[in-house]
Amino acid sequence: MTWRRYGGDRGQAFPIYAVVVVGLLFAALAFFTIGKAGVVRSNAQGAADAAALAAAREARDTLVPGIDLATLSPEEWEQVLLGRRFDVLGGACGAAHDFAAMNDATVTCSAAGTRFTVRSTTNGTVGDSVVPGVSGKHGEAEARAEIVPRCHVEPGDSGGSGSAPTPGPPGPVKFSCAKGVVVDYDPARPRAWRSLAATLFDVRLID
């Protein structure tokens, strides 16, 4: 009789054990899904950040076609520093799409002045999941980047301070930049715009 009671207790405990094991497996799968969803979301944000910065850098490095740096007056240089001479409608968003593709994502891109907004969607998904509404979800994120001037034109640096304007092409221009950096641009010894732009402007992500 004692043996039978012991065997009967084991039979009653087995369903409880099975329920506990199934519950633990479900919880483990749910935690795995949540973790994978976090990774997919992080991938989407990384793709958006990289694409937004790429768009802003491409715009910063590309002026409107037809601009000749050697002929710009100090006043025209100020317009450049205000971001009013960038070719924002050119290849900027194309660069965003290229960087998104390298991060296995697609993006939409828009520009407003010197600010670029990118919305990304990952090609990869969370996959099959025991969590309702999560299966097959793509990661989505948004990022914005801005071109920020670091310098301004020092007054009286082209044509001589206190003197009448000299006919002919503008002379050298001096820029005063952040952290006490001074940049000289001499039209007689032109410098590639991409190199100069990296000194005159910052590109950063914004909220």
Q: What residues form DSSP beta bridges with 143? A: 118
Q: What is the pLDDT along the chain (207 residues), one digit of tens a residue?
A: 455 555 555 556 666 656 655 555 555 555 555 556 667 788 889 999 999 999 999 999 999 888 888 888 888 999 999 988 898 877 999 999 999 999 999 999 999 989 999 999 988 875 555 455 556 688 899 999 999 999 999 876 444 444 455 555 667 889 999 888 999 988 888 788 988 999 999 999 998
Q: How many domains does the chain have?
A: 1
Q: Tell me how many degrees the CA angle 140-144-147 measures, rounded to the nearest 5.
A: 155
Is pTM, for the whole model, over 0.85? Answer: no
Half-sphere exposure of 118 (CA within 13 A, CB side): 35
Could you tell me if 190 and 38 are in contact, meaning their C-beta atoms sit under 8 angstroms apart?
Answer: no
Could you tell me if 59 and 114 are in contact, meaning their C-beta atoms sit under 8 angstroms apart?
Answer: yes
DSSP H or E run through 11: helix 2-60
Could you tell me if 129 and 183 are in contact, meaning their C-beta atoms sit under 8 angstroms apart?
Answer: no
Look up residue 148 and give its DSSP letter.
E
Q: Which domain holds residue 83?
A: 2-206
The pLDDT, as a whole number, for residue 101 is: 93
> Which residue in 143, 147, 169 sits closest to 72, CA to CA?
169
> Which residue in 106, 92, 99 sits closest to 140, CA to CA?
106
